[in-house]
Amino acid sequence: MQSTLLQMIGWAMAAGLFSVLRYGGLQHEVFLSQADLSRLDFGYLVWSAAAAGAVIGLAYGLLDLVLERPRLRRLPYGFLIATQTGFHLLIMALVLSVITAFDVSKADGSLSWEGWSGVMFSSFTGVILLYTSLVSFTFNFVKQVNRKSGPGNLMKLLLGKYYHPREERRIFMFLDLKDSTAYAEQLGHLRFSRLIQSCFHDLSVVARHRAQVYQYVGDEVILCWEVDEGVEDANCVRSFFEFTRLLRERENVYRQNFGLVPEFKAGIHIGPATVAEVGEIKREISYLGDTLNTAARLQGKCNELQESVLVSSQVLEVLGRPRGLRFESKGCLQLKGKDEPVVVYGVHQTH
C-alpha cells in the first residue's frame, strides 16, 4: 500500500505541474476574451488536476500490485518498465475517452461520434497522452532503479546520507547455501547459476520481515535490519524460517528442475557498523566492522555444530524469548579473528 500511496502523491504532483505548464500566466494574456478569462480560475484548475492525478495514481498503484507479483518481477527490467508504461497509457486513454463521451453527449443522451473523435484525436489529447507516457516511464524507471539498489538506498544516495562515514547499530545475517560446492559439480555452472537465481527470487519473502538485502556474494546473501525492525516479533530470525518454509513448499519445483531441494544456513549478530558511500564508477552503500565479521564466522560454524541458524548472545539479549522459537546454548566459541569468545545459540521453531 505504501507504493500505491506514493503513486497517488506522485501523479497528483505531475497533474498539478501539467496544469501549471498549460495554463500558468494565461489570465494575463490579452488575446483571451473576457468570457474566457471569467472561466479561467487558475487555482481551481491546479487543484482539480491534482485531485484527478491522485485518482489516476490510485488506479495505477492498484494495477502495479497485479503487475509486480513475484513471477512477473523476474522479467527483465526493460520489459517491466515498457509493460507498466503501456498499461498506464491505456488507462489514461480510456479515462479521457469516457470523460469526452460525457462532455459531447447530445441532449437526448446519445453520443456525438463526430464531437468525440474531434476531441480524442486533437492535439490537446495527444499532449496529455505524451505527458502521461513521459511521467509514467520516469516513475517506473526510478522504481526499478530503487529495486536494484535496494528499497530506500536510492534516496539515501541522492541525499548523501552516508557521504561521510557514520556508525550505526545494525543486525546482520549471513545466509549461505549448504553443500554449494557439491551442487555446483553435480549441476554444472549454468544450472547451478539458475538454482541460485531461483533461490534468491524466493528470498524476496524476507521483505515481509523488514529485511534489507545488503549484498549478494556468489551463493551467499547478507541481510541487515535496523535494530527496532529486526527485533520486532523477532523478524531477524523468523525471516530465515519463512525462507526455508517457502523452499520446502516449492520442493517439487526444485526437484523437477534441479534434482534437489536447496538448504541454507545462517549466522546472525548485532552491533555497531560503519556505514559509508563508496565507489566512483559504481556507487553503493557499504557496511564495515567487526559485527559483520562475527555474523560471517557464526554462519561458518553451522556445519560443525549441526545447526541451520546460529545467533550470538547479544542477539538473544535484545530478542528476549519470542514465542514459537527455542534457543539452545552451544557454549562459548573462540571465533577466528575474535579476541574474546562468543556465546552462541542454535535456534529452532517449536511449532
Report how far residue 90's alpha carbon sits from residue 136's, in angstroms, rounded to the nearest whole number.
11
- Give residue 68's pLDDT: 65
Of the candidates 39, 47, 43, 137, the residue with the CA atom closest to the CA atom of residue 92:
137
Average pLDDT over residues 225-233: 92
Q: Which helix (H) or strand (E) holds 89?
A: helix 77-103
The tens digit of pLDDT for each residue in 104-120 reads 665 555 666 777 777 78
Predicted TM-score (pTM) of the model is 0.74
The average confidence (pLDDT) of the chain is 82
Report how far residue 124's alpha carbon sits from residue 132's, in angstroms, rounded to the nearest whole number.
12
Confidence check: pLDDT of 34 > 80: no
The tens digit of pLDDT for each residue in 40-77 reads 566 666 777 788 788 888 877 777 776 666 566 666 77
CB-CB contact of 296 with 273 (8 Å): no
The cell numbers describing 161, all together, are 546520507
Q: Please state which CATH class domain 153-349 belongs to.
A: alpha beta
Residue 244: helix, strand or coil by DSSP?
Answer: helix
Instruction: Give how far the C-alpha of residue 43 lies from the chain's centroid of Cα atoms, to the nearest Å.
Output: 36
CB-CB contact of 312 with 268 (8 Å): yes
- CATH 3.30.70.1230 domain residues, the chain: 153-349
Question: Which residues neighbour 85 within 8 Å (Cβ) at sequence distance 6 or greater?
Answer: 133, 136, 137, 140
Of the candidates 19, 81, 3, 100, the residue with the CA atom closest to the CA atom of residue 53:
19
User: Residue 135 gets which letter from DSSP?
Assistant: H
- Give residue 113's pLDDT: 74
CB-CB contact of 325 with 237 (8 Å): yes
User: Residue 150 gets which letter from DSSP?
Assistant: -
